[in-house]
Structure 1
Amino acid sequence: MNIVLWVLQGTLAAVFLAAGLPKIAKPREELVAPMGEWVNSFPAPGIKLLGLVEVLGAVGLVVPPLAGVAPVLSPVAAVGIIVIMVGAIVAHARESAGSKIAMNIVLGVLAAVVVWGRFGPYAF
């Protein structure tokens, strides 16, 4: 099960790193086409902040346990990802993007499994 949790953590980290970096690096106008109309309903600094939080969540999933420093931050980062996914579900529901909502639910469930495993029987 430890290997499964590491695979989930790595997968979530890759997804959130890939989602967060463009939000930090690109202007809001360039994000509408690949990410959807929800981008227009948020201020540009809010999108940059969201990207930063996603990148920090990605880092928090894998770096602390690999470094052996405060590994409890890994499941805490997974809790943060669940919170981000709840917000994403709300934002995508406003634009009626069902396929994006489904992906948010899947990512939230994967993060919940990491929380369960790392706070529970498979803690570091």
Structure 2
Amino acid sequence: MNVALWIVAGLLAAVLLVSTSKMFVPRERIARAGAAAEWVLDFSPGALRAIGTLEIFAAAGLVLPALLDIAPVLVPVTAVCVALLFTGAVVMRLRRGERTTIAADLVYLALAVFLAWGRFGPAPFTG
């Protein structure tokens, strides 16, 4: 169970780090990547920077507290926050009518919930 939770934490951290590109790449260029990326045009550059900043903190919070053994309880707390982030992404996609592109967000949401459950429940870092 511990290995699976580490893999999920690493995968979610990687996904969050990759998605921070919205902080550095112009919105118009991202939107040209395809229908799944057009949502960036609904947000201001400042809002995209704020979302990207939260994603950087989330990526760090999923891995670093446990690796450094400094407040490892932050890992499941961060996983709950990541689940909330992806819940917002699912709601945004539903409002935009993007039902075909919602699958990835639902998978990431499920992984974040699994990580939170696993680290709060059967495989915590403490105890």
**TM bracket, shorter-chain basis:** over 0.9
Alignment-derived partner of residue 28 in structure 2: 29
Alignment-derived partner of residue 16 in structure 2: 16
Matches within 5 A, 1:39-54: 39-54=40-55
CA-CA distance at 1:73 after TM superposition:
0.9
Alignment-derived partner of residue 57 in structure 1: 58
The total of aligned residue pairs comes to: 123
Question: How far apart, CA to CA, are the structure 1 residues paired with 2:102 and 2:51?
Answer: 17
Alignment-derived partner of residue 92 in structure 1: 93
CA-CA distance at 1:32 after TM superposition:
1.3
CA-CA distance at 1:94 after TM superposition:
2.4
**What 5-or-longer segments of structure 1 have no aligned partner?**
none
Spell out, residue by residue over 1:23-64, the C-alpha distance to the aligned partner (whole angstroms, 9 max, x if none).
Answer: 121222222123522111111100111011111111110011
**What 5-or-longer segments of structure 2 have no aligned partner?**
none
Letter in 2 for 1:45: G
Identity of aligned residues (%): 41
- Structure 1's consecutive aligned runs of 4 or more residues displaced over 4 angstroms after TM superposition are none
Q: Is the 1:17–1:54 Cα contact (8 Å) retained in structure 2?
A: yes
